[in-house]
Structure 1
Amino acid sequence: MTTPPDDQRRPLDAASSEPLHPRAREVLLAALDAGWADPRRLHHEGRRARLLLENAREAVAEQVGARPDEVTFTSSGTDAVHRGLLGLHAGRSRVGRTVVVSAVEHSSVLHAARWTGAPVAEVPVTPTGEVLPSAVARTLADAAEPVAVVAVQSANHEVGTLHDVATINEVAGDVPLFVDACASTGRVPLPSGWSAAAASAHKWGGPAGVGILLVRKGARWRAPFPADDRADERAVGFENVPAVLAAAAALQAVAADADAVARRQHALVDRIRREVAQLPDVEVVGEAERRLPHLVTFSALYLDGEALVTELDRLGFGVASGSACTSSTLTPSHVLAAMGALTHGNVRLALQHGTTEGDVDAFLAALPGVLSSLRGRIGL
């Protein structure tokens, strides 16, 4: 399949990954020379690497509203999710076993919950994908066994709907709350109420392979995997200090203009939602206002998501379809199914920090022709 050259393409899949932020690139290159040593060693090079690591920890803590000693760097967002959720579950093993998750959690959360072998109770969502505190309260009350942990994302990774995490924490009472904040960190502030949380650097323009695990001071968290002889009990192995420092620099950079970017992207997505909804047999899904500023998903009746992605890619638009991390297996979206929305023919756009109004103009101009052409091929 022939596609436009890179300089003519319009990538619209920031929910998967942002390009490396210029500030991250600058810091990464400098840190490759200064931060290569093992930060646990006592020699000069090790102490220098340790200083860089602690600087990164402090920078991230400041941006997410945590203490530096609550921040751990992991090998990925998925690793942070697993350690956060499973660590809280292990820490509550004497109290309860049941894991409560919302029906629209990321697959990494759902896999971790099932991996425990404990009962898993799902919280239903509204047609816009919102996890209501009242629904969490009912699920907790109906649980057949004592609950160890509740998992609710800060914002949905496929449709962008924001959740009232602070109120959900209130109804959860003494049950700890794990928050997957991978989709929202760097876009909107981390909500309060978490006992543990996770984020992923490549989603805000940091290097891939850096996850952030937050564990609140005083939370009952216990290492769910074999221990390592490191200073941070929540981490294993040798941190990639240059990548960690670059991730922190990128987070600082995007946070500095997050409000302005959010306003601009919210307006662009409002326009996309409005114009796409006017097309025949197309349904825009998710919350219209209480949502991530950069993300929108819609479904086209009678069409296949893979065909839509392929045709749009041929025209230079990089978009996603299906469940956010399972589209390569053509698995229908469990998020859309939980919302009662169409699970086929869906397209997810996630604007990058550099996406322009011209990019949106071009996409909206191309989409009607793509829909018409694909429907024509199947005789509609």
Structure 2
Amino acid sequence: MATLPQKPSDEAPARAVLDAAPGPLHPVARQTLAAAIDAGWADPRRLHTEGRTARRLLDDARAVLADGLGVRPEEVTFAPDGPTAVRWMAQGLRYAARRRGARVVASAVEHSAVLLPARHAAARAGDPDLAGLVAVDRLGRVDLDAWAHDVARPGTVAALLQHANGEVGTLQPLPSAHEACRAAGVPLGVDAQASLGRVDPPRDYDVLAADATSWGGPGGLGVLVVPERTRWLLPGPADPDATLHGPSRHLPWVPLALAAAEAWQQTAATRSADAAEAFALIEQLRLKAASVADVEVVGDPVDRLPHVLTFSALYADGEALVREFDRRGFAVGSGSACTSSTLEPSHVLAAMGALTHGNTRVTLPLAAVAPHRSRDVRSFAALIDPVVTAVRAELGASHL
């Protein structure tokens, strides 16, 4: 049996986690999870007292999430995690419209949960046009003219677009993109894995997918919102327990759903203040990184998520940067945040025409789980220049 790492002692040097994607569990949600293990352990399909209790708790959790998202409880359903929710979102839209066509449109910076299945489907059919990828600009924002043209093409049955990119932070123009979809009669699925709990929930979508970890909830729980107006269906037999599972047919472990609902309530209560502070902290880091020679800060500087930053250093290696920051007490990310292999070259940065190597990604945790994040950001900002310089010297590029 593996030995769990011990909590650091008071004498141990402090470490700062600036790679909160996914982030730590909200402390109040952790308490709820522990209590729910005792209260909601039973199968909510059972008719005995314990089963009915679990069913009531699951219904309560769904109602809390629905209220926060501005939808009805029966429109909220679950998945095993965020990427699965995104895959099911796309699959359900495509399958429900299978008699009209099979073409799916997405931006070039979507999560691999969108891009890989679309490419595989196109390859199996021998028709690369089934996966319509729309270009983005240097900030990572989708080209709306190209988007409107692509969703109007014959055979298009679904469009998929992030609320915001979890790697560079740029918010997408969802209202305009959704308007173009409505004009073409094509439903829009929105991936909100990076944004929910950090900014106001999007309203312009036909299906919404998210991950509970984005708002301080537990891992192992994805959320799907399927409004009644939307035609959405996963392949397979009809579900006899549809009122319990919802259209995804996934029955979550009840304690996870309760912890996610509690985290949502806690995060929603402080969202505006947390976002304002995080935005200012990231702005400090953007300015500091941009002041280092041959370092490019990517993404929209204003219309962005408040807690995400990526910068790329010429003549440096992303893995080496991560290791050097880690050696100095800072956990940061690199590579692609939108694939399962995070040190793969970033398809997001490639689509934007930015440097795909030597990148460092910061994803600030919520203040509730990182009470010293302002101090941590100040300390990290002071290290950007010396760490980049040290890594360049290690690679023999210090003279360039």
TM-score range, shorter chain: over 0.9
Q: Distance in 1 between matches of 2:165 and 2:359?
A: 16
| 1:217 alignment partner, one of 219, 222, 228 | 228
User: Is 1:69 aligned with 2:103?
Assistant: no
Segment of structure 1 superposing worse, 308-317 or 125-134: 125-134
Bigger CA drift: 112-121 or 96-105?
A: 112-121
Q: What whole-Å deviation, never above 9, does each CA across 1:294-345 have from its counterpart, x for those lacking one? A: 0010000011101001111111111111111547463110000000000000
Shift of residue 149, structure 1, vs aligned partner: 0.2
Map Cα deviations across residues 33-74 of structure 1 (whole Å, 9 max, x no partner): 111111111221111111100100010011112111110021
Superposition map of 1:16-35 within 5 A: 16-35=21-40
Please tell me the root mean square deviation across aligned C-alpha atoms, in Å. 1.8
Which stretches in structure 1 are left out of the alignment for 5+ residues? none
Q: Distance in 2 between matches of 1:330 and 1:24?
A: 31
Match of 1:42 in 2: 47
Q: 2:131 matched to 1:125?
A: no
Q: Is the 8 A contact 1:97 1:148 kept in 2?
A: yes
Q: Counterpart in 1 of 2:175?
A: 166
Question: Does 2:19 correspond to 1:13?
Answer: yes
Letter in 2 for 1:313: D
- Of residues 326, 345, 348 in structure 1, which corresponds to 2:358? 345
Residues 1:233 and 1:203: Cα distance change in structure 2 (over 3 Å) = closer
Q: Counterpart of 1:109?
A: 114
Specify the alignment match of 2:58 in structure 1.
53
For residue 263 of structure 2, the aligned residue among 241, 244, 250 is 250
> Any unmatched runs of 5+ in structure 2?
1-6
Correspondence for 1:287: 300
Give the corresponding residue for 2:3. none
Q: 1:370 to 1:266 in 2, by over 3 A?
A: same
Partner of 1:271: 284
The structural deviation recorded for 1:22 is 1.2
Segment drifting more, 337-346 vs 125-134: 125-134
Cα distance in 1 for partners of 2:58, 2:41 equals 11
**Percent of counterpart pairs with the same letter?**
50
Number of aligned residues: 374
Taking structure 1 as reference, are residues 225 and 340 closer, same or farther at Cα in structure 2, changes over 3 Å only? Answer: farther
Q: Tell whether the 8 Å contact from 2:221 to 2:252 is kept in structure 1 after alignment.
A: no
Q: 1:188 aligns with which of 190, 199, 202?
A: 199
Instruction: Report what 1:100 is aligned to.
Output: 105
For 1:315 and 1:339, the matched residues in 2 are separated by 31
Residue 112 to residue 64, structure 1, CA distance change in 2 (3 Å): farther
Match of 2:390 among 365, 368, 373: 373
Return the alpha-carbon distance in structure 2 between the equivalents of residues 123 and 331 of structure 1.
22
CA positional deviation for 1:164: 1.4
Q: Cα gap change, 1:325/1:193 in structure 2, threshold over 3 Å: closer, same or farther?
A: closer
Of the structure 1 ranges 369-378 and 235-244, higher mean CA displacement relative to structure 2 is found in 235-244
TM-superposed CA distance for 1:103, in Å, is 0.3
Letter in 2 for 1:161: T
CA gap of 1:339–1:304, structure 2 versus 1, over 3 A, is same
Q: TM-score, normalised by structure 2?
A: 0.90
Q: What is the CA distance between 1:246 and its match in structure 2?
A: 0.3
Instruction: Give TM-score scaled by structure 1 length.
Output: 0.94
| SS of corresponding position for 1:100 | strand
**Aligned partner letter, 1:196:** V
Contact 1:104 1:338 in 2 (8 A): yes
